[in-house]
Chain A
């Protein structure tokens, strides 16, 4: 057994992947972090005080982890789902009926709920440790945008099962856009934007119409939400996370007393 492991470790294949020995010496530990694509998000050494679980609550890390779970389970769900009004509901139903022990939809939904919670808690701990103070002001702002994106990701996904719960939750949520000042047809100021007695802002072109691609939550909204949910928003979030993590390092690692 020992010999077998030894042989594997010394094979050309193994050594082409891991270019260092077992990480039990300072040199190899450094190499383990530096030469690994994923681990090199981290610095080689970190402040002892910053990595205590009671300090960070691991909430940023868990948020990221949940994002990865969402990506994987979401990808699998996309294989079985058509974003059209007559197929969407059936597809979701089929996932439940025809897949024994199928938990991809469950994982996707519960992880999404959890991600909203962990991102709130992450923000809470960053605030309570004063970690938004200089030099981390900018990264806090990147975080706020990530928070909004997380909520929007969840919101757009909520519509996709195309059942009563989904459609009416999105209806309630998007009704607010109707009241946007100047841009919604029931918003204050919208009636001022008229031209020769013709209203420029009405139910057929206001902010809500733009969001839903229609006057109510219909097929246009489904497609729009689907594209945003599966492509637009995840790309934006991934992009901002890259900046976020990079800045954590460039701002001196996890915060600690100056």
Chain B
């Protein structure tokens, strides 16, 4: 029974299913938000989570990864992200209900009323501070900070992992070369975050929780943060072992587990289809991928702006629209590449290793 369950969990956590599962779960939670913001939901989640955390460490392989001192924060991360998403959704649902009835939101109901900082704010801060300090001290007494063998540049540990908060980027290395996963995409994440206040022209939803008044912004940000950042960190921490191969949570980290690498470039597919040898000039050889990318980045935005998203261009203005579209397309490249990898084993859309230019 236990083994069966473990095997089922290992199977369900393989990257494709894991990703599809998280996407589906977030979609369901946002779509049925009235249901999912009920108190029983979060109670059941934490009850099941607690039972799982009591049972699962009886498995030696699970215990090994979960009790690594530096992995404890990830468990805290999972619990807090779920809880706070629930809390935000709950308040958004309540407020949306009030707005629909023409009543003031919770925040507006408390209104312009002002209270003294001392004591009303100071004591909340103080309690937070005391509880947090106590928590930290207990944690520090219980768990020793790790120290491994002294640095040896000749001996590479397997797996070599970046610090946990960068594991999302390391996971992207599966799908992209370092210049995209490690430089361009993080750069665009920072630029994109900074651009948010200037791109979001919706005046509503400023200073209170709401979903209905800003459905796109709410869904997009939760998706970006939860699916492509937090869940990648979790994947990178718990489910990636030696050689960055996938391992289920109950699987032994076998150094010799090999995943067959059969990935193929787009150009290979293309010239094979034409039944011709690959041309020598890289630009000609990679022409199909180059055309696809140019179309994606240069033709798609104006095309969408003239047709489906006409209204958006009008309300945002041309400059905002174009900046927005380009950021979106860069982010879209990640799931596109992931799906192409899983379905047709695509390695590179454009692969010019001669110039380190692989997309």
Contacts and interface: CB of A to CB of B under 8 A. Distances in A.
Given A48-B120, A106-B139, A124-B221, 4 more contacts: A106-B140, A109-B145, A175-B182, A189-B355
A199 interface: no
Given A167-B151, A189-B355, A39 B124 contact: no
A162 B148 CA distance: 9
B214 interface: yes
Interface in A20-57: 23, 26, 29-30, 32-33, 39, 42-49, 51-55, 57
14 contacts: A23-B118, A33-B117, A52-B110, A89-B150, A107-B140, A123-B193, A124-B88, A125-B88, A163-B148, A163-B150, A184-B183, A217-B153, A257-B105, A257-B108
Which of B148, B183, B203 has the most chain A CB atoms inside 10 A of its CB?
B183
Interface in B246-268: none
A232 interface: no
Given A106-B139, A178-B178, A133 B197 contact: yes
B163 A169 contact: yes
A254 B198 CA distance: 20
A192 to B, nearest CB: 8
Interface in A84-138: 85, 89, 92-93, 96, 101, 103, 105-111, 113-114, 116-117, 120-121, 123-125, 127-134, 136-137
Contacts of B76: 114, 117
Interface stretch (A5-13, A153-161, A223-231, A234-242): A153-161
Interface of A: 23, 26, 29-30, 32-33, 39, 42-49, 51-55, 57-58, 61-62, 65-66, 69, 85, 89, 92-93, 96, 101, 103, 105-111, 113-114, 116-117, 120-121, 123-125, 127-134, 136-137, 140-141, 144, 147-148, 151, 154-155, 158, 161-169, 171-173, 175-181, 184, 186-191, 216-218, 255-258
B88 to A, nearest CB: 5
Contacts of B149: 163-164
Mostly helix, strand, loop or mixed at chain A's interface?
helix
Interface of B: 70, 72-73, 76-77, 80-81, 84, 87-88, 91-92, 104-122, 124-125, 128-129, 132-133, 136-137, 139-141, 143-153, 155-157, 160-166, 169-170, 177-179, 181-184, 190, 193-194, 196-198, 200, 203-210, 214, 217-218, 221-222, 225, 230, 355-357
Contacts of A123: 193
Mostly helix, strand, loop or mixed at chain B's interface?
helix
Given A133-B197, A166-B151, A181 B179 contact: yes
A107 B230 CA distance: 24
B150 A187 contact: no
Contacts of B170: 172
Contacts of A45: 114-117
A177 to B, nearest CB: 8
A60 B144 CA distance: 27
B266 to A, nearest CB: 17
B107 A49 contact: yes
Given A191-B355, A258-B206, A121 B84 contact: yes
Closest 5 CB pairs of A and B: A176-B182, A106-B140, A137-B197, A179-B178, A49-B110
